[in-house]
């Protein structure tokens, strides 16, 4: 590895930036497109779907916070698992997370395109999204669908931004996330003061064939909406004072996100009703906004336009967040010798993991061809499995290294990680059972990716002569520093 490759990432992100990365990913397209699905499966009890998912993910959030304070290394869940599990297990953890983030990126890019076209249509710039034709490419004389072209452009834009400046991508994330949260709060404000809003829409809580058990499949299918705070830990070494700021960012982003979700879902059901919300499907929030928000305002046409505007920002911030996260997982794996060494290098000019960013973008763009529903289900499955392993890593690390420096220790240990493991496994089982009946392709592709990972692991191990089994010299040395400071990112030590 060249001297350029041994540079450490620069700490350019503050607490606000780190928090917004988590919120930007969690308050993504999910709140707009998954609310209708939750209402269809569980009726008015959809509000409990989001509340209980928040509780389930909070247990894992405690584990992420403790591990991040003890192991201030970029790579998120992979970095934690790498610290305590054997080579193959840690490789597969990174392999699943890397792919899950890249799939999520493709989904967000594809979600951005129709919302952006709809926004342009609202202002009379283009026809309805379904009527927008292909765009002819110069020189090659080939036409590509406008949606695909917009999705590719969005990915390339954020890849370029992330490749040249971590600080710039963090600032964009902060601005865009603040914008979409403001839009959702405007939606909530108009909703709760509207004559349409009534708590009677929540009675009965389980109408018709709906029962309390209807909540479980809805939780499994919407759990991806709470994936995001883990992204904060993928940029640990690029955050100032990470041992303190990463746990704070995790808790703040989770708390704000759950509050926003519950407010939005309550207003949507209280105005449109669970049946109306389910009927509107992915456009449920926009349909609700159109019903009770004023029309004919300057610049803003109607409530639906406001929500479409928010959806554009939501998909862009979520896309930017997973571009950051996927590349940092690949960077961490390369630095640990579990991907090609070039993945673990920092660009000598930009100070970013340039190769990891570009490589992740290539796979992300290729993932656009996957069936959208199957890709989303794969992503949910991989995140649930990774959360199980991260909770296991907390328990294993506590047992094997009890004197390790932990600026943050979760309360009531070992209850949170045990509950995290059990509840995530329950949701995993429910999701797999649902996919067996409705989307076997997602399961086939998931198993295929894991098998491909095992093949890649063996091939890299043979190619590198044991390279996949040894951490980098920098990481190994850091593990033995006697008294690290917070600014010494990457140092993982035990107390004397």
Residue 297 lies inside a defined structural domain of this protein: yes
**Phi, psi angle pair for 110, to nearest 5°:** -70, -30
Residue 406 lies inside a defined structural domain of this protein: yes
Two tokens, residue 452:
């491909």
**Beta-strand runs (E) in 317-423:** none
Q: pLDDT value at position 478?
A: 39
**CA triple 432-438-443, angle to 5 deg:** 45
The secondary structure element, H or E, covering residue 21 is helix 15-26
The secondary structure element, H or E, covering residue 137 is strand 134-137
Whether a cis peptide bond, with omega within 30° of 0, leads into 484 is no
C-beta neighbour count of 296 within 10 angstroms? 7
Two tokens, residue 326:
């996927």
Two tokens, residue 193:
């003061």
Residue 176 lies inside a defined structural domain of this protein: yes
CB 493 within 8 A of CB 479: yes
CB 122 within 8 A of CB 101: no
Residue 492 lies inside a defined structural domain of this protein: no
Task: Quote the CA–CA distance of 424 and 416 in Å, as a whole number.
Answer: 12
Average pLDDT over residues 448-456: 93
Q: In this predicted model, what pLDDT tens digit does every residue of 312-350 receive, in sequence order? A: 888 888 888 888 888 889 999 998 989 888 888 888 777
For residue 10, give Cα distances in angstroms to 238, 359, 436, 480, 490.
Answer: 5, 21, 45, 22, 12
Residue 1 pLDDT exceeds 60: no
Range of the domain at 381: 20-135+143-478
Residue 418 lies inside a defined structural domain of this protein: yes
Residue 8 lies inside a defined structural domain of this protein: no
Q: What is the DSSP letter of 468?
A: G
Q: pLDDT value at position 131?
A: 67
CATH number at residue 151: 1.20.1740.10
SS3 content of the chain, % helix, strand, coil (to 5): 75, 0, 25
Residue 246 pLDDT exceeds 80: yes
Q: pLDDT value at position 26?
A: 87
- The pTM (predicted TM-score) of the whole model is 0.83
Q: What is the mean pLDDT of the chain?
A: 82
Q: In this predicted model, what pLDDT tens digit does every residue of 124-178 receive, in sequence order? A: 787 776 667 666 555 555 667 777 788 888 888 888 888 887 777 878 888 888 8
Helix (H, G, I), strand (E, B) or coil at 254: helix
For residue 48, give Cα distances in angstroms to 42, 43, 55, 172, 258.
Answer: 9, 10, 10, 32, 11
Residue 12 lies inside a defined structural domain of this protein: no
**Phi, psi angle pair for 239, to nearest 5°:** -110, 135
Q: In this predicted model, what pLDDT tens digit does every residue of 198-225 receive, in sequence order? A: 988 988 888 888 888 888 888 877 877 8
Residue 428 pLDDT exceeds 70: yes
Q: In this predicted model, what pLDDT tens digit does every residue of 85-128 receive, in sequence order? A: 989 999 999 999 999 888 888 888 888 888 888 888 777 787 77
Residue 481 pLDDT exceeds 80: no
CB 30 within 8 A of CB 316: no
Residue 418 pLDDT exceeds 90: yes
Q: How many folded domains does the chain comprise? A: 1
Task: Quote the CA–CA distance of 480 and 477 in Å, as a whole number.
Answer: 6
Residue 236 lies inside a defined structural domain of this protein: yes
CB 99 within 8 A of CB 359: no
């Amino acid at each position: 590895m060249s001297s350029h490759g041994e540079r450490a990432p620069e700490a350019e992100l503050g607490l606000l930036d780190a928090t917004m990365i988590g919120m930007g990913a969690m308050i993504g397209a999910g709140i707009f497109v998954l609310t209708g699905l939750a209402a269809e499966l569980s009726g008015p009890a959809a509000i409990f779907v989001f509340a209980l998912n928040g509780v389930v993910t909070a247990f894992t959030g405690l584990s992420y916070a403790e591990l991040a304070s003890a192991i201030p290394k970029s790579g998120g869940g992979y970095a934690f698992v790498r610290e305590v599990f054997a080579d193959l297990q840690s490789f597969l953890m990174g392999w699943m997370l890397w792919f899950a983030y890249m799939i999520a990126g493709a989904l967000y890019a594809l979600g951005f395109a129709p919302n952006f076209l709809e926004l342009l249509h609202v202002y009379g710039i283009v026809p309805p999204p379904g009527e927008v034709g292909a765009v002819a490419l110069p020189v090659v004389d080939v036409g590509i669908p406008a949606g695909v072209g917009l999705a590719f452009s969005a990915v390339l834009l954020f890849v370029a931004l992330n490749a040249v400046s971590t600080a710039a991508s963090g600032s964009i994330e902060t601005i865009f996330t603040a914008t979409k949260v403001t839009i959702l709060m405007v939606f909530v404000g108009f909703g709760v003061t509207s004559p349409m809003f009534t708590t009677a829409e929540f009675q009965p809580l389980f109408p018709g064939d709906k029962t309390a058990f209807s909540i479980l499949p809805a939780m499994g299918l919407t759990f991806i909406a709470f994936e995001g705070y883990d992204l904060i830990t993928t940029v640990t070494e690029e955050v100032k004072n990470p041992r303190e700021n990463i746990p704070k960012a995790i808790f703040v982003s989770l708390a704000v996100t759950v509050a926003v979700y519950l407010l939005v879902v309550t207003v949507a059901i209280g105005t449109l009703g669970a049946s109306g919300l389910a009927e509107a499907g992915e456009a449920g929030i926009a349909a609700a906004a159109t019903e009770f928000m004023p029309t004919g305002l300057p610049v803003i046409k109607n409530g639906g336009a406001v929500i479409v505007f928010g959806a554009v920002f939501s998909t862009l911030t979520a896309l930017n967040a997973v571009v950051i996260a996927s590349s940092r997982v690949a960077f961490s794996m390369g630095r640990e010798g579990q991907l090609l060494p070039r993945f673990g290098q920092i660009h000598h000019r930009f100070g970013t993991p340039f190769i990891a960013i570009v490589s992740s973008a290539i796979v992300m763009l290729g993932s656009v061809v996957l069936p959208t529903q199957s890709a989303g289900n794969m992503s949910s499955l991989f995140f649930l499995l990774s959360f199980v392993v991260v909770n296991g890593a907390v328990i294993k690390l506590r047992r094997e290294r009890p004197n390790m420096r932990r600026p943050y220790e979760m309360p009531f240990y070992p209850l949170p990680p045990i509950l995290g493991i059990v509840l995530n496994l329950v949701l995993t089982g429910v999701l797999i059972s649902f996919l067996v009946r409705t989307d076997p392709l997602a399961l086939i592709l998931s198993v295929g990716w894991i098998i491909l990972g095992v093949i890649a692991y063996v091939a890299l191990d043979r190619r590198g002569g044991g390279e996949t089994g040894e951490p980098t010299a920098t990481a190994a040395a850091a593990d033995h520093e006697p008294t690290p400071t917070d600014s010494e990112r990457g140092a993982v030590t035990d107390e004397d």
